[in-house]
Homo-oligomer: A and B are copies of this chain.
Amino acid sequence: MDVRALVFDVFGTVVDWRGGVTREVRRLLGPSVDASALADDWRGRYLPSMDRVRSGELPWTPLDALHRSSLDDVLADAGLAATPADVRDELVLAWHRLDPWPDVLPGMGRLRRAFVLAPLSNGNVALIVDMARRAGLPWDCVLGAEIVQHYKPDPEVYDSAPRLLALPPSSVLMVAAHVDDLAAARSRGLRTAYVHRPDEFGGQVVPPSEDPDADLSVSSFEELAVRLGA
């Protein structure tokens, strides 16, 4: 493989969304709320909300706005309809304040020396920038859904990475903890690396340890650096 750039799924692959959202829900709504259940419910509405944009039912809408809208439904279903608007706005920022998995910063520190690193996430640019500044993620640039106004797995998102990095698709490696994301990237000619993240769903659903269709399967970003010779 002549890989020159690595592009990353973010939620679940780089950062622990469930742990971070649970922490912020607990902080903002108090100990009487089942915070992890609320995080799971909120995340469960993620794909359907993006599908409304992908289908054309909604015009382009950044992820922060989709999160804000789906939060209203989550709170209503949890009997928390009295939550004030300013608390709802602050809850949406939970997705900007997610911590990376423990191997991410050491692994990226090695990978960045050899490769261009960019997120290729459904998160909007401001969300990804806030997250990176808080966590110290050393992105070279921010690619992803909002840049092309299409959500993954629309092909426009994957195609934008080699186009904007001025590389052939086969020199771009997509890194993700989700086999469907990797399959969509592969169908556009990108190389693929699967990262096993057994704790993404709090142990309720354990993803496969490997993706047999990926070019690489690893269990950490440090292992990815070793496998890529970085």
Contacts and interface: CB of A to CB of B under 8 A. Distances in A.
One complex includes copies of this chain to the number of: 2
Contact of A129 (B132, B146, B165): B165
B141 A116 contact: no
B124 A166 contact: yes
A142 B164 CA distance: 11
A125 interface: yes
Interface of A: 62, 64, 116, 124-126, 128-129, 132-133, 139-142, 146-147, 164-167
A108 to B, nearest CB: 14
Contacts of A133: 116, 140
A125 B166 CA distance: 8
A141 B164 contact: no
Contact of A128 (B141, B146, B147): B141
Nearest to A138: B138
21 contacts: A64-B166, A116-B133, A124-B164, A125-B141, A125-B164, A125-B165, A125-B166, A126-B164, A126-B166, A126-B167, A128-B141, A129-B140, A129-B141, A129-B165, A132-B140, A133-B140, A139-B141, A141-B142, A142-B142, A147-B147, A147-B164
